[in-house]
A and B are shown apart, each in its own frame.
Chain A
Amino acid sequence: MRAEAVRAGPATAIERRPASRTSTLYLFALPATLLFVVFVAYPILWVAGQSLYIRSGSGVSSFAGLANYVTVLGDPTFWIVVRNMLLWGVITIPVQMLIGGLLAYFIERHTHALRGFFRTMFFLPVVTSVSVISLVWVQIYAPYYGIAQEYLKHVGFVMMTSPIGDPKMAIYALILVNIWQWTGFSMLMYIAGIANLPSEVLDAARVDGARGWRLAVYVIVPMLAPATKSLLLLGVIGTLQTFPIVHLMTGGGPNRASEVFGTFIFKQSFVLGDTGSGAALSVIVLVVALVLSLLQIVTLGARLTPAGKERA
């Protein structure tokens, strides 16, 4: 009983110490806090402030209220971006989960000697520099000398132009590259989930007679829910920060058809030098990201850990 009482006491031994010594303990938390304040919190506040100002040609800023937001929301490109981002998220996230999940399932449950080999090979696109990947895919998609049009025409799929040069096709062509690059990540998350499934529960399912697809649907998929939730959360944030693939492959073109938030902000802020609307856009992306994340955390109990597992 006494032992219980001691254990239940406030955070046990280490916490209770004189105030003077406690204060030095805050040194543990100081560096992280400093980095956060200077390089995350301050820039966010600054950009929120700037979004309310307009800089004239002569470099003088004047308060403009929500004028920047009105301008941005009135820009037809903004709505192309919104559409593209929706497509991006709605296609990328489930497809990556599906392919990554299937790969993980077969690799983890049906291979032994080659398990490490498959895990590594499918993950390689994640560690290949995105700028290299983008240029390789430009070459793959290229008309005349690219291999996509050359090989796809044998299966009855004739491409007259490069898909990234076609306003209707461009965004899908980019999404394909993105899926290819990041599926290995989904796979690894599910591999962690599957490897950590309690083996006795799987035995119990076998005793209950669940095999094959029914084992997968009724037992394995629900038990991988934590990994799925983390992937959803990471997928939404990843979608909103899409930049290099689009910037390097189409530059948001042709005719802004494949513009995403990243390239749009980049153009407004650094090409056109319009920090006011660049700031307004940044704030919009930030708010969208926070709202979507919090929504998932509250409704789904999603966690941002790589293979977060619910506490039993």
Chain B
Amino acid sequence: MNLRQYMPWIVGAALIALPFVYRDPYHLHILILILIWSFAYTSWAVMGRFGLVSLGHGGFMGVGAYVTVLLWNHLGLSPWLGIPAALLCAGALALVVAYPCFRFRITGHYFALVTLALSGIVLQVITATRNYTGGSLGYTPERTKGNHILALQFDDKVVWYLIALGVWAGGLVIWHWIDRSMSRYAMEAISEDEDAAAAAGVNVTAEKLRITVISALMTALAGALYGQYQMFISPDTVSGIGISLQMVFAAVVGGIYVALGPTVGAIITILLAEALRIGFGTKAVGWDNLVYGVLLVVFIIFLPKGILGSLLASIKTPSKRQNG
């Protein structure tokens, strides 16, 4: 084992030790947000890296957050059971939408727009059932009077930091697991040429479905965690087209072809938003998205591999930098 193989463990240990050494609540809050969103962006990139551009992930995230909180508030079901139920819903939704898409070869633009309809539906359903979900005004999980662990509600930021860290690391493990599996080669073949992949014996529909469901489940988990941590969800913060696009562009800015790319994207976008908010106060409304938007366009034109992707590519093959 050399230093490179030890690196993840050293960094991991440092990240676990961090809140015990340094516990400024504001900075921990930012770190938790970065970790949760990194996990969500990683989930998107799990399928996005294979050219399956989904604009429906806002929908999966909304399902994850709302189903968990609704079960808790109306049925008193602990999030420990509510989150699996929410994941089941999101997975079923992914299957129902994705299976016919893949079966009938809906790809590229069409796939992006069908999934766009999905996130639109989830947003409108949440708004329309306002008697249960609070509509566009948002929704708050009821504070528990009993066991905090059972209700998955913690006042201590350190606990949330460790949970978010664990889930984020889990997301990276899933990424590596896919990266080393046969699925990855199958999916890369599919993204190059579906017919050729099918002719070579790849079950195109099954492979794409597997990746899509994994990605949807992860996204729903991110939504549920976000709801539990923030103790407030609204259609605009966890679902809809805005969130779907936010996921896509953070992942693209960071780089969707490398494991830590979406994390870099989350760090950049969240720190940028916070810096603008602190720097300009209420005058910053709109400026953060303006900067994001320009960044996204510039990145797609000049650095389609994202910041981290381009950086790694230029370290590996400095002479071919202009090709990246």
Partners in one complex: no
**Chain A interface (Cβ within 8 Å of chain B)?**
none
**Chain B interface (Cβ within 8 Å of chain A)?**
none
